[in-house]
Chain A
Amino acid sequence: MRAAAVAALLLATSPAEAADGVLAITGGRVVTVSGPVIENGTVIVEGGKITAVGAGLPVPAGARVVDATGKTVYPGLIDALTTLGLTEIGSVAGSVDVSETGDVNPHARAWIAVHPHSELIPVARANGITAVLAAPQGGLVSGQSALVRLSGTTPDALAVKQPAALHVVYPTGRAPFDLSRMFDEPERKTFEERQKEKRRIQEKQLERLRHLLEEAKAHAAALEAARAGGPAPPSDLRLEALAPAARGELPVVIRADAEDEIRGAVAFAAERGLKLIVAGGLEAWRAAGLLKEKDVAVLLNVDRLPRRESDAYDAAYTNPALLAAAGVRFAIVSDDASQVRNLPYEAAMARAFGLAPEAALRAITLSPAEIFGVAERMGALDPGKDANLVVATGDIMDHRTEVTHVFIDGAEQSLETRHTRLYREFKDRP
């Protein structure tokens, strides 16, 4: 199987040429996501776009034919929360560009640092992931994310949407680390006292954020006035970067796991008129009604431990099914870089714990595309969309399934990775 795939690759024209040519993927089980599954279906690709999807379609003359008989064809998977391209080797600082120093960095933009030649990208791609949200982390305001396709040798070639969102970490209320007090005896406080202290720190941070957003709007207004001939305000990249989010134009992804943090984020977003997306969302099921009411989408990963000792053992596993039942929009994400390839298995766990298989697949294809406003281009097999396609030997959420072909914008991608190269080098060593 693998050898055949490699051989097919060698025969294929170079990606750039292939993207312009005509391609027909025939005979497969076509899972469109947006519509019904088509058995023995055909997908026609032309000029990097899907032009037709259906059963019994004629293959255009001169088209390259990929026989997918016995296989399943999916839209490329989308991982809507990662640090892919921002980190290479976790422990090697020189290879990590995830978190800026300081805690208010709205002007830190992921697409400046997403490394097109990261060895992690082909590894993710080889298991069917064709686009990701690359997002900075840390601080209070982490920075801006980019939605990137996993093919291309320059940052511009990767770009799909930048900025995709502003990323904020909901204040946890933990006191800032103080080295000078590291060896002090811990203060004895009651639970109530500690809760009060936590809320005080949280409120202080939120007040800071509130202030920054107001300043950003004022700064934007001053810039507007300057364009009309008024005096120019002093340059402030932070405030400039915050303005679109402050005005409710750019989505704000707020990382929040605990129920009170999620509810706090929803209240804050409502108060400031922000376009909120919750990330993490470990206890989103506890606030499902509110999230539905306010139409807030959630980016969550499934393979996590419950947050509370008293929680059911499967609280994180059933989270997606409960959100689906409540009508909350959500995407399943890896929230990782080297583990992006395991995205379909996060969806599998949601499936094992009550999420319908179709909904699980949607959570790693069309739903993330909708949440980040790129559903016109990707997330389903519809005519007119970018030809991001995956051919697999079976159910893509089954760990035993192999991905045999990946196309991004109609161009066939190599399935070679650092891992397959090392495998070849050592598998026959005596």
Chain B
Amino acid sequence: MKRPAAALGAVALAATVAAAPPAPVDKGVALMGGTILTAGPAGTIEKGTLLIRGGKIAAVGQDVQVAAGVPVIDATGLYLMPGIIDAHSHTAIEGGVNECTDSVTAQVRATDVVDHRDPDIYRQLAGGVTTINVLHGSCNTIGGQNAVLKLRWGQGPDGLVFKDAPRGIKFALGENVKRSNFSRPGPRRFPATRMGVEVVLRDAFREAQEYGREWEEYEKKVKAAGARGVKPVAPRRDLQKETLRDVLAGRVLVHAHCYRSDEILMLIRVADELGFKVRTFQHVLEGYKVASEIARHGAGASTFSDWWAYKLEAWDAIPYNAAIMQARGVRVSLNSDSNELARRLYWEAAKAVKYGGVSEDEALKMITLHPAWQLGVEQRVGSLEVGKDADIAVFGAHPFAPDTRVEMTIVDGAILFDREKDLAARARGGEATSGGAR
């Protein structure tokens, strides 16, 4: 990367700041001369300037005035895009992915088991990823609550949590929930069929509705009793039902793992009947067969670019899935579900161009703006627009090109991955880079 000596100081400063809780550089930093793929209304800005101040994007465009004294990073020849958002991840919760003992575990929370030292956080930063949706596994019909994380490498577990992200929960349908591809000693768990999966959903939400009525009754009694009356006894708090009650109230986003088109329709019917919304269908490999129904429900779809044939419910998976759903008006994201694949999501997006002819701008949104919407954080991240968080991936060539590589990744205005510094650290200290950075 071409970078004047003065800018190196700025980089070092930003990196130092990153180690402490976010206290962004006041003067800001300007990235100048690069091609800016905004994923926003401005589209692509050639030879643009992006000004970061206070961890936010202060200005972006061709005619941005950069005040004297503001450190400048020369981005000539480089490509800037919004930090990549992975809407399906299990990073940083190794060993805490599945609470598998019951088919309804709405009470467990991924935020309780975040491991900020997971080296995959750094490795994914090096692939341009800045926000991940850490989901519970697919072992149960209603799994635990998710953790939306920003990859603020160097901070503690709480420092990684994306504070303003709405709560979310994992649902799952099909083979994994039925446990049909897993043999273990002992009796099988209910559900063992897709029929049972539907029953578990209906049952759990009926109970949550009843639980909600108990609380409403109680609150009525409290009101009636007033300040002086006999205090009514509160219902026993049930963290599982409380969470499902929040789902019914629209306070928790539902991310539903699914494969077959019929089970997707099943969940839409159940959701309509019980009165909740599905925010995203995850995997959704047969989404292309019912794309209009998904669009009408108002859900997004987070899928793999081209995985198929690994199980029966992935047999009709096609790489055109993203393109078809997008064309029917579904907000589509491409996810990794893998610590390895997460590092090259920019090329997963490129596959949407190949399979189904999605435009490059729209394909880019599948790993930025659309997953941001799916996680309810589109006001904060997902595009390079003024006022949004300065989460930026800087590439050596167009992110879809075969020779491209991430050179720098910025989170909240702080440079948390810098390939030059990484290489320098290797030269100094032998092998340690990701290990040494914590």
Within 8 A of B (CB), among A327-368: 337-339, 341-342, 345, 348-349, 351-353, 357
B378 CB-CB contact with A under 8 Å = no
Using Cβ atoms and an 8 Å threshold, which residues of chain A touch B324?
423, 426-427
Contact yes or no, B356 A423, CB < 8 A: yes
Cα distance, A89 to B312, chains bound together (Å): 6
Q: Interface code A376-416, partner B: CB below 8 Å = 1, 0 otherwise?
A: 00000000000000000001011111100000000000000
A314 CB-CB contact with B under 8 Å = yes
Contact yes or no, A400 B350, CB < 8 A: yes
Using Cβ atoms and an 8 Å threshold, which residues of chain A touch B318?
418-419, 422-423
A185 CB-CB contact with B under 8 Å = no
A36 to chain B, nearest CB (A): 20
Using Cβ atoms and an 8 Å threshold, which residues of chain B touch A353?
405
Using Cβ atoms and an 8 Å threshold, which residues of chain B touch A423?
288, 318, 320, 324, 356
Cα distance, A350 to B381, chains bound together (Å): 31
Cα distance, A89 to B181, chains bound together (Å): 12
A101 CB-CB contact with B under 8 Å = no
Q: Which residue of B lies closest to A417 (CB)?
A: B318
Contact yes or no, A419 B320, CB < 8 A: yes
Contact yes or no, B320 A427, CB < 8 A: yes
B118 to chain A, nearest CB (A): 9
The stretch of B1-9, B16-24, B156-164, B426-434 that contacts the partner chain? B426-434
Using Cβ atoms and an 8 Å threshold, which residues of chain B touch A92?
311-312
B73 CB-CB contact with A under 8 Å = no
* A-side interface residues, number (CB < 8 Å): 46
B351 CB-CB contact with A under 8 Å = yes
Cα distance, A341 to B305, chains bound together (Å): 13
A303 CB-CB contact with B under 8 Å = yes
Contact yes or no, B308 A351, CB < 8 A: no
Using Cβ atoms and an 8 Å threshold, which residues of chain A touch B122?
313
Using Cβ atoms and an 8 Å threshold, which residues of chain B touch A312?
422, 426, 431, 433-434
A88 CB-CB contact with B under 8 Å = yes
Q: Which residue of B lies closest to A422 (CB)?
A: B318
Cα distance, A305 to B340, chains bound together (Å): 6
A89 to chain B, nearest CB (A): 6
Q: Which residue of B lies closest to A396 (CB)?
A: B402
Supposing A312-B431, A399-B353 touch, asked if A419 and B312 sit within 8 A by C-beta, the answer is no
A419 to chain B, nearest CB (A): 4
- The one of B181, B309, B402 that contacts A398, using a Cβ cutoff of 8 Å: B402
Q: For chain B, which range describes its interface: under 10, 10 to 19, 20 to 34, or 35 or more residues?
A: 35 or more
A429 CB-CB contact with B under 8 Å = yes
Using Cβ atoms and an 8 Å threshold, which residues of chain B touch A91?
175, 180-181, 310-312
Using Cβ atoms and an 8 Å threshold, which residues of chain A touch B343?
313
Q: Which residue of B lies closest to A88 (CB)?
A: B309
- The one of A308, A398, A419 that contacts B401, using a Cβ cutoff of 8 Å: A398
Q: Which residue of A lies closest to B292 (CB)?
A: A430
A211 to chain B, nearest CB (A): 34
A90 CB-CB contact with B under 8 Å = yes
Q: Which residue of A lies closest to B347 (CB)?
A: A399
B280 to chain A, nearest CB (A): 20
Cα distance, A247 to B291, chains bound together (Å): 59
Q: Interface code B297-325, partner A: CB below 8 Å = 1, 0 otherwise?
A: 00000000011111110111011100010
- The one of A88, A310, A418 that contacts B435, using a Cβ cutoff of 8 Å: A310
Using Cβ atoms and an 8 Å threshold, which residues of chain A touch B433?
312-313
Using Cβ atoms and an 8 Å threshold, which residues of chain B touch A418?
318
Contact yes or no, A429 B292, CB < 8 A: yes
Using Cβ atoms and an 8 Å threshold, which residues of chain A touch B107?
none
Contact yes or no, A351 B350, CB < 8 A: no
Cα distance, A309 to B120, chains bound together (Å): 9
Q: Which residue of A lies closest to B324 (CB)?
A: A427
Q: Which residue of A lies closest to B316 (CB)?
A: A422
A120 CB-CB contact with B under 8 Å = yes
- The one of A88, A90, A305 that contacts B339, using a Cβ cutoff of 8 Å: A305
B205 CB-CB contact with A under 8 Å = no
Cα distance, A309 to B122, chains bound together (Å): 11
Within 8 A of A (CB), among B364-393: none
Q: Which residue of B lies closest to A182 (CB)?
A: B185
A311 CB-CB contact with B under 8 Å = yes
B278 to chain A, nearest CB (A): 20
Cα distance, A87 to B311, chains bound together (Å): 11
A243 to chain B, nearest CB (A): 36
Using Cβ atoms and an 8 Å threshold, which residues of chain B touch A89?
309-312, 314-315
Using Cβ atoms and an 8 Å threshold, which residues of chain A touch B120?
305
A280 to chain B, nearest CB (A): 15
Within 8 A of A (CB), among B399-437: 400-405, 422, 426, 431-436
Cα distance, A312 to B402, chains bound together (Å): 21
Using Cβ atoms and an 8 Å threshold, which residues of chain B touch A309?
119, 434-435
A196 CB-CB contact with B under 8 Å = no
B344 CB-CB contact with A under 8 Å = yes
Using Cβ atoms and an 8 Å threshold, which residues of chain A touch B403?
348, 351-352, 357
B289 CB-CB contact with A under 8 Å = yes
Cα distance, A338 to B400, chains bound together (Å): 22
Supposing A312-B433, A426-B288 touch, asked if A90 and B123 sit within 8 A by C-beta, the answer is no
Q: A90-B311, A352-B402 are in contact. List 19 more A-B contacts (CB 8 A).
A: A89-B310, A89-B311, A89-B315, A303-B341, A305-B120, A310-B431, A312-B434, A339-B307, A341-B306, A349-B344, A395-B402, A399-B350, A399-B402, A419-B320, A423-B288, A423-B318, A423-B356, A427-B288, A427-B320
Can you list 15 residue pairs at the A/B interface with Cβ under 8 Å?
A91-B311, A92-B311, A306-B123, A308-B431, A310-B434, A312-B422, A313-B122, A313-B126, A338-B308, A352-B404, A352-B405, A400-B350, A400-B354, A427-B324, A429-B292
- Which 8 pairs across A and B sit closest by C-beta, in order of nearness? A399-B350, A91-B311, A338-B309, A90-B310, A310-B435, A348-B402, A419-B318, A423-B320
